[in-house]
Structure 1
Amino acid sequence: MIKGTEQQDVRIEKAHKTPVLKLVVAFGAISSLLWGSYQLIFSTSANAALVLARSEVQLATVSRGDFVRDLAVQGKVVAANAPTLVSQQDGLVRFIKQPGEAVTIGDLLAVVESPSLENEVKQQQALLLSMQSEHERAKLLAREQQLDMRQIESSARVNLQAAKRELARAEQSMQLGVMRQIDLDIARDKLAQTELEYNHAKAKVALAADKLSFEQKSGEQGLARQALVVAELERKLAALQIKAPVTGQVGNWLATQQTQVLTGQGLLTVIDLSQYEAELSVPENYAAELSPGLPVEVTLNGQKLSGQLSHVAAEVKDSNVTARVRFADQDAKALRQNQRVSGRIVFDERKDVLRVARGEFVASGGGRIGYRLEQDIAVRTPIELGALSVQWVEILAGAKEGEQLVISSLSEFKDAERVRLN
């Protein structure tokens, strides 16, 4: 039998038409959804020129409380007394103590050998001895001359006395009539002559004494000058023996063992371990506010040490000013030279101050513009900021306690008056 095509055929049912009412309802629902979205997006932000994600913005609440105006800086631990020893003369250096070795005051650390200085010292010492011998010889000669002058004076005195006796005899003889007048006159002239000779001898003796005193003083002055020269050279020679000025430890060698060094060249440092200080680098725009006595808190390996500024450098270097901190109480064993530290300098402390957490809005807003949160809208608001600290910013005007301000960078706000935060 031949089969038919009945089983290959598929019966197709006639589709029912969708009622018009259902189409109208669906269109109305879609229109309502679109309108609601429009109202949600556009009507609520009709006055907002920009929309930002709320997660990208950092907010903080304005509050009242204590305000400490401080500054966070970095620095290092330095020895309060760490002198650098230098060479007083050109020569060959020979180190005795090694870096890090403990020393006490007066210990020999190094020797600078200078043959030229040693030779000059010996020459000047020999010259001093020669001058001393010449001075003694001059004194002996002067005393000898003075003795000769005194002998002449004594002879003149004897002649004077003889002339006086001769005149007395002549006068007696004249009274007795046994001597002529001319002989009496001769006796008187001789007496006058011997008086002149005697006075001249006395003057020469006095002059010889003055000359002896002058030459002696001049010789002593020359000896004193030469003694100063010798003393200075001996001091320089002794200074080539480099000794520890403090008790502590040797720092670093600033020259190589057995090398030629120049006058004034640094040789090594000695660190006084009994007292440490912190050396902080402060930005130069705070230099005018730095003064000795300001309280400082230094953090080192999680340990906080209190202190105060001891002195501030008078010069600016690399846009920073160096300030030294003297610790009020410290454990010297816990500190090491050149350890890195963090410091907090306290400039001012105030009570009941309107404040907000510090953020990037200070720099990006120039301290004059801020954004205050009103529901989901950040409103551009003129503000006036006061003092700044590490944690807080003082608000002088433009915000009230309890309000929220944007404290993150305001560059994304593009100076818009109103910004919606989703």
Structure 2
Amino acid sequence: MDREIEPSFRRRRIWRGAAWAVGGAALVAAVLLLLPGWLRPSVERDRLRTGRVDRGAVEGVLEASGTVLPAFEGVLSSPVEARIEKILKRPGEVVKAGDEILRLDTSVSRLNFERLQDQLAKKANEQLQLRLTLDKALGDLRGRIESGRLDVEAAEYRAEQNRKLRADGLVSEQTLRASEVEAKKARIELAQLEQSVRDAKRSTEAQLAGLDLDLAILRKDLEEARRQLDLAATQSDRPGVLTWVVPREGATIQRGEILARIADLDSYRVEATVSDVHASRLRPGLPVRLLLDGKPFVNGRLAQIDPTIENNAVKFTAELDDPRHAALRNNLGVDVLVVTEARPHVLRVPKGPFLQGGLTQRVFAVQGDRAVRKDVHIGAVGYDFIEILDGLAEGEEVILSDMKEFLHLQHVKLR
């Protein structure tokens, strides 16, 4: 038979159920209150790099990669076609003016030199023989002229005598005419001999002038051959460091080919490359800053721009204000900043990973325990600072770290 439940037991059960209900409701309320905070993204503040918006100068720069090279580099070229007999100096060795770098086999050039000597001697002998022939011919002509003059005098004397005798009627008219014709003929023959002498002199002088010209050309060729043989000694014309030398002994080189490069390591310049996207912004005279390990150490000026584009890059040369700086070394790799514009006393913020490219950036500004996203317009981009056109005020604290995973949020909690 059923018994009635005691009132005390029934009250305990009611209180226990009420307690469970209140606890569950409290738990649900706590979850509803705390869940948004748990689900809202947050960032540890100590892990963020921040910077203040202030006023100052911003230099717009192009970042390029460069190599330090000697400011002056001499090239030693082969004056003749020759075979490399022996390499006496290797790249990296210090050389003095007059040091022999290579030894060339110049047997072909020496044979050419000797051939020119023989040709010069032959031409000189031809000239001498021509002079002797002329002297002999002129001597013969002069003898004939003297004989002709005597013939003229004798013929004129006979004609004169016949004129006197004709006046006295002692000779006939025919005899007188014959003697006069003989005298005239003698004078004509003498004139022809004298003209022959003049013609012989002019002809010989022309031949001698031609030989003189040939001799002058041969002497120049001989002097050039001698100079090339002297240059074939391949001696350094300046003190410096050998940066390159033709690598193979026994190789045949053509006239004009480069044999060696000698650099003056007392002063340097920089050759750098930058993306061809920025080619229109480059111009000679722009300031240049060299960075070593991220720190500026030498300034300079953009001196020359290579007009050709290779591998989507533009090459340029920079002259340095201090080309003898102690930190400069041959073939040293450096970062090069080309200053394209300078803006003084503008709003700026330190450069950091938050910069994603483009003229409009989404930036997080620190406001108490949270970071609020702002749209910011930027101007000149320098190596250290970025110009702020609008969107931020002086004194605001900005997160410089990369925040791209939070860019879809309006604000982020800072822990």
TM-score calculated relative to the size of structure 2: 0.80
- For the Cα contact (< 8 Å) 1:86–1:265, is it kept in 2? yes
The question of 1:122 aligning with 2:114 is answered yes
- Residue equivalent to 1:76: 67
2:283 pairs with one of 288, 291, 306 = 291
Change (3 A) 1:293 1:254: same
2:304 to 301, 304, 311: 311
Aligned to 2:96: 104
Question: Does 2:226 align with 1:234?
Answer: yes
Counterpart of 1:4 in structure 2 is none
SS in structure 2 of the partner of residue 179 of structure 1: coil
Cα distance, 1:240 vs structure 2: 1.9
Query: Of 307, 322, 338, which aligns to 1:345?
Result: 338
Deviations 1:350-388 (A, max 9, x none): 212233333455545x3235346495474563x543332
Aligned equivalents of 1:173 and 1:259: distance in 2? 99
User: After alignment, is 95-104 or 207-216 more displaced?
Assistant: 95-104
CA separation in 1, counterparts of 2:160 and 2:285? 99
Q: Is the 8 A contact 1:149 1:208 kept in 2?
A: no
Contact 1:373 1:405 in 2 (8 A): yes
Match of 2:137 in 1: 145
Alignment partners' CA distance in 2, 1:144 and 1:413: 114
- In structure 1, C-alpha distance between the alignment counterparts of 2:388 and 2:175, rounded to whole Å: 129
Q: Deviations over 1:303-322 (max 9, x none)?
A: 82333333333323333333
1:185 aligns with 2:177: yes
Aligned-pair CA distance for 1:214: 1.0
Distance 2:381 2:296 in 1: 25
% of aligned pairs identical? Answer: 21
- Aligned counterpart, 1:94: 86
Summarize the Cα distance change of 1:349–1:313 in structure 2 as closer, same or farther, 3 Å threshold: same
* Distance change (3 Å), C-alpha of 1:181 and 1:363: farther
Structure 2 CA distance, aligned partners of 1:339 and 1:82? 16
**Aligned equivalents of 1:99 and 1:41: distance in 2?**
68
1:169 equivalent in alignment to 2:165: no
- What is the alpha-carbon distance in structure 2 between the residues aligned to residue 391 and residue 334 of structure 1? 22
Map Cα deviations across residues 396-416 of structure 1 (whole Å, 9 max, x no partner): 4555545566665575356x4
Instruction: Pick which of 236-245 and 87-96 moved more.
Output: 87-96
| Aligned residue in 2 for 1:16 | 12
Gap change, CA 1:23 and 1:273, over 3 Å in 2: closer
Amino acid in structure 1 at the alignment position of 2:128: E
Q: Contact conserved, 2:366 with 2:398, CA < 8 A, in 1?
A: no
Once the two structures are superposed, the pairs formed by residues 263-278 of structure 1 within 5 Å of their partners are 263=254, 266-278=258-270
> How far, CA to CA, are the matches of 2:57 and 2:44 in structure 1?
30
| Distance in 2 between residues matched to 1:121 and 1:337, nearest whole Å | 41
Asked whether the 8 Å contact 1:353–1:394 carries over to 2, the reply is yes
CA contact (8 A) 2:269 2:323 kept: no
Q: CA RMSD in A?
A: 3.6
Distance 2:160 2:42 in 1: 143
Deviation of residue 299 (structure 1)? 4.0
Partners in 2 of 1:76 and 1:309 — Cα distance?
Answer: 14
Q: Residue type of the partner of 2:226?
A: E
Contact preservation (8 Å) 2:268, 2:324: no
Offset at 1:105?
Answer: 1.9
Match of 1:420 among 407, 411, 415: 411
Q: Shift of residue 242 of structure 1?
A: 0.5
For the 8 Å contact 1:159–1:194, the answer to whether it is kept is yes
* Alignment check: 8 A CA contact 1:92 1:114 kept: no
1:177/1:283 CA distance change after superposition, 3 Å: same
Q: Is the 8 A contact 2:266 2:324 kept in 1?
A: no
Look up the equivalent residue of 2:55 and give its one-letter code.
Answer: R
Q: Quick one: distance in 1 between partners of 2:63 and 2:284?
A: 17
* Residue 133 of structure 1: how far off its partner (Å): 1.1
Aligned counterparts, 1:229-268, within 5 A: 229-256=221-248, 258-263=249-254, 266-268=258-260
Q: In structure 2, the residue corresponding to 1:108 is in which secondary structure?
A: coil
Q: Which amino acid aligns with 1:225?
A: I
Change (3 A) 1:25 1:101: closer
Q: Distance in 1 between matches of 2:266 and 2:206?
A: 57
Letter in 2 for 1:215: Q
Provide Cα deviations, 1:252-279, integer angstroms capped at 9, x if missing partner: 44324x5333225544332223322233
**Please, which of 329, 332, 347 is the counterpart of residue 336 of structure 1?**
329
2:317 pairs, out of 316, 324, 327, with: 324
Structure 1 segment 18-57 matched on structure 2, within 5 A:
18=15, 26=23, 29-30=26-27, 32-37=29-34, 53=43
1:35 deviates by 4.7
Give yes or no for contact 1:307–1:326 (8 Å, CA) kept in 2. Answer: yes
Unaligned runs of 5+ in 1: 1-12, 46-50
Give 1:101 deviation, angstroms. 3.9
**Conservation of the 8 A alpha-carbon contact between 1:274 and 1:332:** no
Match of 2:199 in 1: 207
Contact 2:50 2:401 in 1 (8 A): yes
Judge conservation of contact 2:120–2:219 (CA < 8 Å) in 1.
Answer: yes
Shift of residue 331, structure 1, vs aligned partner:
4.0
Q: Which runs of 5+ in 2 are unaligned?
A: 1-7
Q: Is the 8 A contact 2:365 2:374 kept in 1?
A: no
